């Protein structure tokens, strides 16, 4: 994670979530998609993208393809699902967002983005 992000203990952020956040930091779409279960999905403010192919396409157009950055990331709701609040930057949406991750069998079942 970027140096400007607070360090969370590994117990606070499950490995699957950490892999997705690290992939975003590295702008690595392959690693981001690989963090999801085959039938996992992204819910981007009510728009759902299910399965690796659709998640990859969404990320190409909305997240990693827009060189998204996450700063000031903090866990706001620990557990499973886990929610983080982060400041999103890059060439797409810029502003604060909540990302809620549901982890099943060490993979992301879902990632839901809200205000």
Round to the nearest angstrom and report the end-to-end CA distance of the chain.
22
In three-state secondary structure terms, 88 is strand
The torsion defined by the Cα of 56, 64, 10 and 2, in degrees rounded to 10, comes to: 170
Decide: 85 and 114 in contact? Cβ < 8 Å: no
List the beta bridge partners of residue 44: 47, 113
Q: Which two tokens stand for residue 14?
A: 């499950």
pTM above 0.85, yes or no: yes
Is the pLDDT at 32 greater than 70, yes or no?
A: yes
Which fold does the domain 15-114 belong to in CATH? Nuclear Transport Factor 2; Chain: A, (3.10.450)
Q: What is the pLDDT of residue 6?
A: 46
Q: What is the pLDDT of residue 11?
A: 57
pLDDT digits (tens, 9 = 90+) for 60-100: 999 999 999 999 999 999 999 999 999 999 999 999 999 99
């Amino acid at each position: 994670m970027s140096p400007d992000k607070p360090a969370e203990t590994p117990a606070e952020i499950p490995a699957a979530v950490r892999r997705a956040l690290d992939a975003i930091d590295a702008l690595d779409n392959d690693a981001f998609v690989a963090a999801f279960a085959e039938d996992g999905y992204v819910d981007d403010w009510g728009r759902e993208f299910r399965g690796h192919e659709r998640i990859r396409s969404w990320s190409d157009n909305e997240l990693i393809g827009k060189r998204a950055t996450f700063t000031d990331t903090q866990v706001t709701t620990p557990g499973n699902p886990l929610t983080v609040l982060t400041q999103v930057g890059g060439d797409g949406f810029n502003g604060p967002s909540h990302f809620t991750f549901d982890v099943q069998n060490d993979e992301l079942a879902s990632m839901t983005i809200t205000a």
